[in-house]
Structure 1
Amino acid sequence: MIQSQALTLQQIADIQQNLSAALSIHSFSLHPFDALLNHTVVVAAVQHSCDDDDLVKAVIAKTAEQHHCEIALLEHTPKLSEPGLLVMDMDSTVIQIECIDEIAKLAGLGEKVAAVTERAMRGELAFKDSLISRVACLHGVRVSQLEQIRNSIPLMPGLARLLDVLKANGWKVAIASGGFTYFAGYLEQRLGLDASRANVLAEEDGVLTGTVIGDIVDADVKAVTVKELAERWGIPMHQTVAMGDGANDLKMMEVAALGVAFEAKPIVNAQADAAIRYSGLDAMLAYLSV
């Protein structure tokens, strides 16, 4: 599957040539959901010309980068026409910022915390340990100060269209975040989501204590959340999608029928079923079946 803002016949031919090192393409056709999106979506009938999955992924990634388009090799994916479940990460997926980094700026430690966040998302640090150390830096920030971040949260492009289409087709949508309920709960209400799960920041007398309350929402908890929500709403696991950008999202992407990397770290792009590198969140719709 190939999608881009504008695909010419020459570009498609060039992409076909680039992919030939790993895939043999027999035919092209417009995706049934092409009209839903603001860009062209082409479905290709392909056959593997090599048995090296790592090589296939590398060729796809390189070709996608060269042509600034989305390319995914998918077989059986969830159907848009049947009830399904999408669970998304929040920071740098649903929204364009990392909330913990923004709070840290209020404490004068923005760069320090952002550096740790980046390493954690790349999978270089244990998420729980990194979160505890980063949250400790937030000690002394007034809860009232978080409102200025919450009220100006920039949503990710394509989110509105994605939600509109999924809701119109009876899908459930939720957030599973290693971030904080202060923001996740707000987004759940604002966007009309069906559920959200995140960490609870501890506070005393209106001031953050630098700790979290209860279990930390790490990769394992995110994976469990996908299963629990699917069971709660009677949605079969083959109708589930998980989408995120960091190493903390890999386990939920693994348990879902379709794992989508969104503007993700290299380790996530390498392991996801499909990736969105250059388009908005609504590009995920093209990865669903009719």
Structure 2
Amino acid sequence: MSHVLTLVAPPGQLAPALPARARDAIAALGADPGTPDWLAEGEAADLPFTGLNPEQAVAAALAALGGAAVDAIAQPAEGRRKALLIADMDSTIVTSETLDELAAYAGLKERVAEITRRSMNGEIDFATALRERVAMLEGLGLEALEGTWKGTHLMPGARALVRTMAAHGAHCALASGGFTWFTGRVAALCGFTSHHANVLLDDGRALTGRVAEPVFDRDAKLATLIALATEKGLPLAATLAVGDGANDLAMIGAAGLGVAFRAKPVVAAAARARVDHNDLRALLYAQGYRAAEIAAD
């Protein structure tokens, strides 16, 4: 079979009838589907098929599932396991927007979060928005960084995603529009091989209200993906990119498997694959990993 449709639901919610229903739906459009292959009982199943493009297969499957909390990702069967992961951090690998949480220590969370929202929706330029938000934090004591870090939590499935792919030889990189102060800590906690982000400037006691130039933005994320793939001798088809905001769109579009994870509307609409209902382990199932191969989270 040339392609595979992967269906993923929260544990215990993928009843056997659901892959069967998806199989019937794509068959009705002229596909030649195979037998569902369970990757995790009650949670994830592969449905091999030929004769239909991935977008049609996903649309037909989701329509047939009638609003069930199921994510569907279709792609070529060959080369689905990726050798390079590049992941956004805020609202992807961690549950929060670290800059917004940092701004809370200055009593500015709502103002900063509104700028973040507009930037992540692609309504305003990312670099301009970042400089504006950082400028508002001038004079904030460095202890606020530690306080923000203590309240930062990993997204469910984050460690499982990174540790599983790394165990199978993949280079795992964190690429964030946030700050190296946080990405270094998240990278160490999850097991990322490298991390790439903005540098937040301080005078040893407090933030200066500036970020080192050039800003690590949408183009820098894409450049990092391309540079790492080139360094590893990998085609872009062998890469996986995941994120939720507009500054992730370029790397998501260029990667072999680009995933919008619980993403902003502009990102969800543009991405070829999306995860709306599940945690980050869905990205492992999309690559054909079975439950027994997945590392502990």
Indicate how the Cα distance of structure 1 residues 41 and 24 shifts in structure 2: closer, same or farther if over 3 A, else same: same
Take 1:130 and 1:64, find their aligned partners in 2: how far apart are those partners? Answer: 40
Q: Please, which of 40, 47, 50 is the counterpart of residue 43 of structure 1?
A: 47
Q: Classify 1:155/1:229 alpha carbon distance in 2 versus 1 (closer, same or farther; 3 Å).
A: same
Range with greater deviation from structure 2 (207-216 or 67-76): 67-76
SS of the residue 1:170 aligns to: coil
Q: Distance in 2 between matches of 1:191 and 1:243?
A: 15
Q: Following TM superposition, by how much is the alpha carbon of 1:177 offset from its aligned partner in structure 2, in angstroms? A: 0.5
Contact 1:4–1:70, Cα closer than 8 Å, also in 2? yes
5 Å matches for 1:164-179? 164-179=163-178
1:156 aligned counterpart, secondary structure: coil
Counterparts of 2:130 and 2:120, CA distance in 1: 11
Q: Taking structure 2 as the reference length, what is the TM-score of the superposition?
A: 0.85
| Structure 2: distance between partners of 1:105 and 1:19 | 49
Contact 2:21 2:65 in 1 (8 A): no
Moved more, 275-284 or 225-234: 225-234
Cα separation, partners in 2 of 1:114 and 1:19, compared to 1, 3 Å: farther
How far does the alpha carbon of each residue in 1:47-66 deviate from its partner, in whole angstroms, 9 at most, with x for none? 449x9x6x877666666781
**Distance change in 2, residues 1:170/1:244 (3 Å):** same
Alpha-carbon distance in 2 for matches of 1:114, 1:57: 33
In structure 2, relative to structure 1, the CA distance for the partners of 1:17 and 1:27 (3 Å cut) is closer
> Residue in 2 aligned with 1:136?
135
**Map of 1:188 onto structure 2:** 187
Of residues 1, 4, 14 in structure 2, which corresponds to 1:7? 14
TM-score (norm 1): 0.87
Q: Return the offset for 1:195.
A: 0.7
Q: How many residues align?
A: 282
Alpha-carbon distance in structure 2 between the residues aligned to 1:233 and 1:278: 32
The equivalent residue for 2:115 is: 116
Structure 2: distance between partners of 1:116 and 1:264: 17
Instruction: Confirm or deny that 1:274 pairs with 2:273.
Output: yes
* Residues 9/39 of structure 1: CA separation in 2 closer, same or farther (3 Å cut): closer
Distance 1:225 1:40, change over 3 A: same
Q: Percent identity?
A: 34
| Unpaired stretches in structure 1, ≥5 consecutive residues | none
Unaligned runs of 5+ in 2: 290-297
Question: What SS does the aligned partner of 2:199 have?
Answer: strand
**Equivalent-residue separation in structure 1 for 2:137 and 2:86 (angstroms):** 27
1:157 and 1:221 map into 2 onto residues whose CA distance is 27
Moved more, 266-275 or 215-224: 266-275
Deviation at 1:29, TM superposition (A): 3.2
* 1:136-192 alpha-carbon deviations (Å, 9 max, x no partner): 121121112211221332101111221222112101101111000110011122222
Shift of 1:127: 0.8
Give the Å deviation of 1:274.
0.9
Check the 8 A contact 1:201/1:213 in 2, yes or no: yes
CA distance in 1, matches of 2:194, 2:105: 29
Aligned to 1:98: 97
SS at match of 1:260: strand
* Matched residue, 2:69: 68
**Alignment CA distance shift 1:120-1:31 (3 Å):** farther
